[in-house]
């Protein structure tokens, strides 16, 4: 399919980086369309681990054009550090990376505001939310401004008028230097993509975070500040919805989330530690330990609907290899009422009781599986149960962190 969107269908950290790396083998262009350096996509190639925060995971494939779209908010320092890291590891960047002129820029005051206000909902403190606030308030600074000295000065001084906490001149000089280093990557991304679509190029749109962190469709207010669903690919890259051919959702074989917010299927302490240790469940961006729980079919059905998922990829099946019994949440019970669909009321989500069905575990090593038939009957039954509950086909399964530890179904 020429245009494919890959999204997280839980609370982020589903393993999208690895899946995008695999799918990018057959793509011409890979586009990141929302979020900022609050995201962390991890790809393991051989004995090398790459953690990417802004640049699309497809950069690890030779000859691929990687694009950062207008829907992304960019910390120039973080971007340049990531470019430097990749260059040191022998990854070609110049000529392979384009950045939207219209993407908004994170400034020092955004980070300070975020750390003051964002603690209650567990943000990363990287200035993402305040940057999006300025974007919507129409006082934001965009990447194109970094290469316009007079315009940049006017905007920075206007935004910091009356502030005694920040030195407008110092920030101006710092960001002007960033602009000089980034200028060669800037482009009208929407034009580039629409011309590529007209030429039938294969384009992969890479989402960050997950559907349940979407500003509109997630567990508000414990969400991110951007459109983390498939619809965000259109607004965040400048392509029309009729150009999207396929949407793929990525989910773990269990559930995790980082930070605050409701989590109906969260494990008790002992099981939490077991799965967290086996699954190496620590944030790629913050290092924070992830909360872990049983697979929640209610939230994933919601993600299937709001994204229009055509298929899903199951990751980290191997983490459940030593589980004798495995539970799947099929609904919530709150004040005597059964909820089969995702409720918008945060009160219900924070206080509901999960309704479960159980599956027998497989108690065997799946990490060496290279095709679906290599899995035991119980492992296959678990996957088939998930597919039936979600009413969507499973197209790929990942059984380890390495690039080759995945197979199509």
Distance, in Å, from the CA atom of 23 to the CA atom of 189, rounded to the nearest integer, reads 21
- Contact (CB, 8 A) for 336 and 295: no
The yes-or-no verdict on residue 22 having pLDDT over 80 is yes
Q: What is the pTM of this model?
A: 0.93
How many helices (H) and strands (E) would you count in the chain?
12, 20
- % of the chain at pLDDT higher than 70: 98
SS3 label, residue 345: coil
Which candidate in 13, 21, 114, 134 is catalytic? Answer: 13
> What are the E-state strand segments in 228-347?
246-252, 255-257, 291-293, 295-296, 311-315, 325-334, 337-339
105 to 82, 141, 154, 263: CA distances (angstroms): 16, 6, 15, 32
pLDDT for res 120: 67
pLDDT of 274 higher than 90: yes
Q: Is 41 a catalytic residue?
A: yes
So what's the pLDDT on residue 244?
97
How far apart are the C-alpha atoms of 101 and 280, rounded to whole Å?
Answer: 37
User: 114 is written with which tokens?
Assistant: 């975020």
Does 13 qualify as catalytic in the annotation? Answer: yes
Query: Left, alpha or beta for 46 (phi > 0: left; psi -120 to 50: alpha)?
Result: left
Q: Report the distance separating Cα 361 and Cα 325, nearest Å.
A: 5
pLDDT by residue (tens digit) across 243-267?
A: 999 999 999 999 999 989 999 999 9
pLDDT in tens, 314-326: 999 999 999 999 9
Q: Which of 21, 26, 28, 41 is catalytic?
A: 41
User: Going by DSSP bridges, is the β-strand pair 246-252/3-8 parallel, antiparallel, or unpaired?
Assistant: parallel
């Amino acid at each position: 399919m020429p245009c494919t969107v890959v999204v997280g269908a839980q609370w982020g950290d589903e393993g999208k980086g690895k899946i995008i790396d695999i799918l990018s083998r057959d793509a011409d262009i890979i586009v990141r369309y929302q979020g900022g350096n609050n995201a962390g996509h991890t790809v393991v190639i051989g004995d090398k681990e790459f953690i990417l925060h802004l640049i699309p995971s497809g950069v690890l494939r030779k000859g691929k054009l990687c694009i950062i779209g207008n829907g992304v908010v960019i910390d120039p320092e973080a971007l340049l550090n990531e470019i430097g890291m990749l260059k040191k590891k022998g990854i070609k960047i110049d000529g392979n990376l384009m950045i939207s002129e219209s993407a908004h820029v994170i400034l020092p005051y955004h980070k300070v505001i975020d750390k003051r206000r964002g603690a209650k909902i567990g943000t990363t403190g990287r200035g993402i939310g305040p940057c999006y606030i300025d974007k919507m308030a129409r006082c934001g600074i965009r990447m194109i401004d970094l290469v316009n000295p007079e315009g940049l000065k006017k905007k920075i001084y206007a935004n910091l008028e009356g502030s005694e906490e920040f030195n407008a001149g110092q920030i101006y000089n710092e960001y002007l230097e960033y602009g000089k280093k980034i200028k060669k990557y800037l482009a009208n991304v929407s034009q580039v993509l629409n011309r590529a679509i007209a030429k039938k190029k294969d384009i992969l749109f890479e989402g960050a975070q997950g559907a349940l962190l979407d500003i509109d469709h997630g567990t508000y207010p414990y969400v991110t500040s951007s459109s983390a669903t498939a619809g965000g690919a259109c607004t965040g890259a400048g392509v029309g919805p009729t150009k999207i051919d396929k949407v793929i959702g990525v989910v773990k074989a269990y559930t995790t989330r980082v930070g605050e917010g409701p989590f109906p299927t969260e494990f008790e302490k002992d099981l939490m530690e077991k799965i967290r240790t086996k699954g190496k469940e620590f944030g790629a961006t913050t290092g924070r330990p992830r909360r872990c729980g049983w697979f929640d079919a209610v939230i994933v059905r919601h993600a299937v609907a709001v994204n229009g998922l055509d298929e899903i990829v199951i990751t980290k099946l191997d983490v459940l290899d030593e589980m004798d019994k495995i539970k799947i949440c099929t609904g919530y019970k709150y004040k005597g009422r059964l909820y089969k669909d995702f409720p918008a009321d945060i009160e219900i989500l924070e206080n509901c009781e999960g309704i479960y069905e159980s599956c027998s575990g497989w108690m065997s090593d799946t990490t060496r599986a290279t095709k679906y038939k290599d899995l035991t009957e119980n492992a296959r039954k678990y996957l088939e149960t998930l597919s039936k509950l979600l009413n969507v086909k499973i197209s790929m399964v990942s059984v380890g962190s390495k690039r080759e530890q995945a197979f199509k179904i």
